[in-house]
Amino acid sequence: MTEDNTPRYIAVEGAIGAGKTTLAVEIATRIGAQAVLEEFEENPFLAHFYQDQKQLAFQTQIFFLLSRYRQQREILQPDLFYERWTSDYIFARDRIFASINLSEAEMKLYDEIEQTLNREIPLPDVVIYLQAGVPALLENIQKRGRPFEKQISREYLHDVVEAYNHYFYHYRATRLIVVDANRIDFVEHPEYVDLVLAAIYREPHPPVEYISVVPPPFFSV
């Protein structure tokens, strides 16, 4: 937290296609923060991972783990231009996916590495979980049109959603805001960002808060 008790570090999370990056960037723009964004394009294993998950899962996860560790460590360094940060992931994101993708033996090795790195990672002041179901996520994935994501199966996405819901059901590390993101488009309707910002800066704030947005009448439901 900053000296005036406002959040210094805001993280946005959610399954593939939930709208994390859009919201993290929009919040950063509005509050004058630096956005720390996932570097998925730099992962040389990701494009082939969905073709052969068992063969490439460990390499994909370790690359992401080290990349996110480096990025998150930078948040702890003094910055002359920014006093606030947003991110489109939390460090635990990698372990959520690892729990789905890795074998038991791989998971044991992964945990040893992750637990060592996790000691040096800053905790967000607020985490926003964009909760969405498989149909909404598939629609968003198709809309943004990343070539490698075309190979994501409905079954895999279902596993990801289940893992996310389980993780955040038990999440107690920091303040949590859960947003029903099934019918929210932060690009076409940036006014929804106002609702999220109002929850972030609401005082007094509950440790866990749920936001359910009713779509305008012209939305097809």
Domain count within the chain? 1
The answer to the question of residue 200 being in a domain is: yes
The pLDDT of residue 149: 86
Q: What is the average pLDDT value for the chain, to the nearest integer?
A: 88
Cis omega (within 30 of 0) for bond into 204: yes
Q: Which of 24-38, 128-142, 161-175, 195-209 has the lowest mean pLDDT?
A: 195-209
Nearest to 212 by CA among 186, 197, 190, 192: 192
**Residues 107-161: tens digit of each pLDDT:** 999 999 999 999 999 999 999 999 999 999 999 999 888 888 888 999 999 999 9
- The answer to whether position 175 is within a domain reads yes
Whether residue 218 is contained in a domain is answered as no
Summarize pLDDT for 206-217 with one digit per residue, the tens. Answer: 788 887 754 443
Average pLDDT over residues 61-84: 86
Mean pLDDT value across residues 156-181: 94
Whether pLDDT at 221 is above 60: no
**Per the domain annotation, does 122 fall within a domain?**
yes
Alpha helices in 80-214 (DSSP H): 93-101, 104-118, 134-144, 154-169, 191-200
pLDDT in tens, 34-55: 999 998 888 999 888 888 888 9
Name the CA dihedral angle for 91, 63, 159, 157, rounded to a multiple of 10 degrees.
Answer: 100
Predicted confidence at residue 163, as pLDDT, reads: 96
DSSP 215: P
Q: pLDDT at position 218, please? A: 32
Average the pLDDT over 8-33 and give the result. 95
From 145, 193, 16, select the one nearest 93 (Cα to Cα).
16
Residue 50 lies in a domain: yes
Active site residues: 88
Residue 83: domain span? 9-212
- pTM of full prediction above 0.75: yes
Residue 187 lies in a domain: yes
Q: How far apart are CA 87 and CA 67, in angstroms?
A: 14
The reported pLDDT for the residue numbered 31 is 94
What CATH number has the domain bearing residue 54? 3.40.50.300
Looking at per-residue confidence, does 219 or 162 come out higher? 162
pLDDT band at 86 (very low <50, low <70, confident <90, very high): very high
Q: Is the model's pLDDT at 81 over the cut of 80?
A: no
Question: Quick check: 94 pLDDT over 50?
Answer: yes
Q: How many CB atoms lie within 10 A of CB 22?
A: 20
Tokens of 57: 């899962």
What is the model's pLDDT at position 63?
A: 94
Q: Burial letters for 51-67: b for 16+ Cβ neighbours within 10 Å, e otherwise?
A: eebeebbbebbbbbbeb
Higher pLDDT, 82 or 125: 125
